[in-house]
Amino acid sequence: MSFTQSILEGNRLALARLLTQAENDSAEGRAALTELFQYTGRAHLIGVTGAPGTGKSSLVNQLALYYRKNTDKKVAIVAVDPSSPFTGGAVLGDRVRMRDLSGDSGVFIRSMATRGALGGIAQKTASLVQVFDAAGYEIIIIETVGAGQSEVDVARLAHTTIVVEAPGLGDEIQAIKAGILEIADILVINKADRPGVENTERALRSTLELAHPTKRVVRHHGATMSMAAPTIDSTMWIPPIVKTIATEGKGIDELVQSIAKHVEHLRQSGDWAARDHARLGSEMDLLIREALMDRFLENIPQKKYDEMIEKVANRNISPYEAIKLLLNGNLK
Amino acid sequence: MTDKKIRVLVAKPGLDGHDRGAKVVARALRDAGMEVIYTGLRQTPEMIAEAALQEDVDVVGLSILSGAHMALAPRILELLKKNGQDQVKVFIGGIIPDEDMPRLKEMGITGIYGPGASTDDIIKDVREAMRLRNT
């Protein structure tokens, strides 16, 4: 049986191996992903993000448990933690909170280090998600690194983005800043038994009330384009606020219902397809950038490149001039 | 074009709650540039083998202070093999009496480290085991 065939038939070792190859962007991995691509596009991708310590992993654990108990869908989890910027090493600890899921062959958890990416997920997280999608995992949960304010890449990847907050983390000004709150399709206030939960809820709710449909600016082909603001009507999605206590499993029913409603909304409004297009578009942008960079570096001797950096460091020429010289001389 | 990272599962089987050693080793391996998946306390051999499979690790590091190593180690090795992960190298740290060491090595444990072992030695041995495996 071929490698990709055994993945389609549910061989977990083959799946684990392909995840590694996809993460390392190896030639075998690319070949297998090419063969498997036709089987993707079936899964619901759920992103879970939020500040460190808000309880993302515990919430993901509960969500996966819920889907396993109440549906026959297989669940995959991609849990991302940061790599050290100095050594490249990482401690990936999200599994610690997911021990309830062990022993269930319908669940597959994969930890992933960011390997230098700064958007809250790794550069190859999308590839791992594709592998799980092809392998028949219908629910794929992507847990980001503990995110601050601008790690918003998960929203480009997921159909439904859940932003997890906890009481006591910020005031109304935090809530009106741009960034992470804007990407929420569903807002969760976890640790809802903690003091201050009313304040957090009030702040988030007033933010949502202040919100009005805005023109969205998206990057496409390296250029910024804007999409028209949606008109306000009853079909507009307003992010619900769900209170949970993940360690006790409280509020999970309601969260799952909100997720289901969001899926329904995406399907009816046509946003499901729009998000799919946007995701694949930004993936292609990334691949083009990588391919061009590789081709550029192939054509320029390392020595010449180093000399150019030296000139820039000595303030002989500016970085713009250096790039111009390198490109003009060497790219066909 | 990333080079292949060494992936290590650090697991703590058995019922004792002392995980400081495991955390120190996890941190040292991280600082050596490896990707360490930490599973937490009180893992059964089945949970460890399953995590090793899902994470497709190169190395499993077991921290055992409870004295149950002669029961836990062979069980974990057996499960790894059953899952088709014969190539995974298993290291043990903890309180292991001298007389048990030869038998553990015979079973297929790659390295054993007691109190006072240096993390530099562990890192060196892990790298060497990877080099031997890949040649």
Categorize the per-residue pLDDT at B15 as very low, low, confident or very high, splitting at 50, 70 and 90.
confident
Condensed to tens digits (0 to 9), the pLDDT of residues B89-101 reads 999 999 999 999 9
Evaluate if residue B130 carries a pLDDT over 70: yes
Residue A203: what pLDDT? Answer: 84
Tell me if chain A has a CB within 8 Å of the CB of B28: no
Bigger pLDDT: A329 vs A58:
A58
Residue A45: what pLDDT? Answer: 96
**Residue A305 and residue A167 share a domain:** no
Residue B33 with chain A: CB contacts under 8 Å = 84, 87-89
**Residue A199 and residue A52 share a domain:** yes
Residues 97-126 in B contacting A (C-alpha not used; CB under 8 Å): none
* Number of neighbouring beta carbons within 10 Å of residue B38: 26
Is the Cβ pair A12, B53 closer than 8 Å?
Answer: yes
**Residue A78 and residue A189 share a domain:** yes
Evaluate if residue A171 carries a pLDDT over 60: no
Question: Which positions ≥6 away from A313 have C-beta within 8 Å?
Answer: none
**Residue A208 and residue A320 share a domain:** no
Evaluate if residue A172 carries a pLDDT over 60: no
Gap from A214 CA to chain B (nearest CA, Å): 39
Mean pLDDT value of segment A272-283: 90
Least Cα distance to A48 among A150, A201, A164 occurs for: A164
* Number of neighbouring beta carbons within 10 Å of residue A47: 28
Residues 81-100 in B contacting A (C-alpha not used; CB under 8 Å): 83-85
Out of B4, B37, B84, name the one closest to residue A95 (CB): B37
Residue A331: what pLDDT? Answer: 43
For the ranges A290-304, B65-79, B87-101, B120-134, which has the lowest average pLDDT?
A290-304
Distance CA A263, CA A258 (A): 9
Condensed to tens digits (0 to 9), the pLDDT of residues A83-131 reads 998 999 999 999 999 989 988 999 999 999 999 888 889 989 999 999 9
- Asked whether A226 and A218 are in contact (CB, 8 A), the reply is yes
- DSSP single-letter state for residue A229: P
Mean pLDDT across chain A? 88
Residues of A with CB under 8 A from a CB of B: 12-13, 16-17, 19-20, 24-25, 83-84, 87-93, 95-96, 99, 102-103, 108-111, 113, 115, 294
Residue B32 with chain A: CB contacts under 8 Å = 87, 89
Best interface-test mutation with B: which of A99, A107, A290 has the largest number of B CBs within 10 A? Answer: A99
Evaluate if residue A220 carries a pLDDT over 90: no
CB pairs under 8 A between A and B: 84
Give the angle A213-A183-A71 at the CA atoms, nearest 5°. 115
Evaluate if residue A276 carries a pLDDT over 70: yes
This prediction's pTM: 0.89
Residue B43 with chain A: CB contacts under 8 Å = 99
Distance CA A118, CA A82 (A): 9
**Residue A304 and residue A264 share a domain:** no
Q: Is residue A294 part of a domain?
A: no
Gap from B52 CA to chain A (nearest CA, Å): 10
Condensed to tens digits (0 to 9), the pLDDT of residues A13-37 reads 999 999 999 999 999 999 999 999 9
Evaluate if residue A233 carries a pLDDT over 80: no
Residue A152: what pLDDT? Answer: 82
Best interface-test mutation with A: which of B5, B37, B43 has the largest number of A CBs within 10 A? Answer: B37
Q: Is residue A293 part of a domain?
A: no
Residue B12 with chain A: CB contacts under 8 Å = none
Domain range annotation of chain B = 7-134
Is the Cβ pair B54, A12 closer than 8 Å?
Answer: yes
Is the Cβ pair B56, A19 closer than 8 Å?
Answer: yes
**Residue A322 and residue A265 share a domain:** no
ipTM of the complex: 0.92
Out of B2, B30, B47, name the one closest to residue A91 (CB): B30
Lookup result for tokens 């794929």: A140
Is the Cβ pair A91, B26 closer than 8 Å?
Answer: yes
**Residue A199 and residue A326 share a domain:** no
**Residue A222 and residue A79 share a domain:** yes
Q: Is residue A212 part of a domain?
A: yes
Bigger pLDDT: B16 vs A166:
A166
Is the Cβ pair B30, A294 closer than 8 Å?
Answer: no
Mean pLDDT value of segment B113-130: 93
Mean pLDDT value of segment A193-200: 89
Categorize the per-residue pLDDT at A179 as very low, low, confident or very high, splitting at 50, 70 and 90.
low
Residue B2: what pLDDT? Answer: 42
By CB atoms closer than 10 A (0-12, 13-18, 19+), residue A154 is buried
Is the Cβ pair A108, B56 closer than 8 Å?
Answer: no
Question: Which positions ≥6 away from A119 have C-beta within 8 Å?
Answer: A151, A152, A153, A154
Gap from A83 CA to chain B (nearest CA, Å): 8
**Residue A192 and residue A138 share a domain:** yes
A262 is in which domain, residue-wise? 40-269
- Asked whether B21 and B63 are in contact (CB, 8 A), the reply is yes
List the helix and strand counts (H, then E) for chain A: 12, 10
Gap from A90 CA to chain B (nearest CA, Å): 5
Residue B126: what pLDDT? Answer: 95
**Residue A206 and residue A315 share a domain:** no
Mean pLDDT value of segment A190-213: 83
Q: Which amino acid is at A178?
A: A
Categorize the per-residue pLDDT at B40 as very low, low, confident or very high, splitting at 50, 70 and 90.
confident
- Asked whether A330 and A296 are in contact (CB, 8 A), the reply is yes
**Residue A262 and residue A125 share a domain:** yes
Q: Is residue A256 part of a domain?
A: yes
- Per DSSP, helices labelled H in chain B are 20-31, 45-55, 69-82, 101-107, 119-134
For position A187, which CATH number holds? 3.40.50.300
Condensed to tens digits (0 to 9), the pLDDT of residues B98-120 reads 999 999 999 999 999 998 899 99
Total number of domains constituting chain A: 2
Distance CA B39, CA A101 (A): 12
**Residue A201 and residue A147 share a domain:** yes
CATH superfamily of B7-134: Cobalamin-binding domain (3.40.50.280)
Q: What percent of chain A has pLDDT over 90?
A: 61
**Encoded tokens for A320:** 């713009």
Q: Is residue A241 part of a domain?
A: yes
- Asked whether A89 and B32 are in contact (CB, 8 A), the reply is yes
**Encoded tokens for A332:** 């066909």
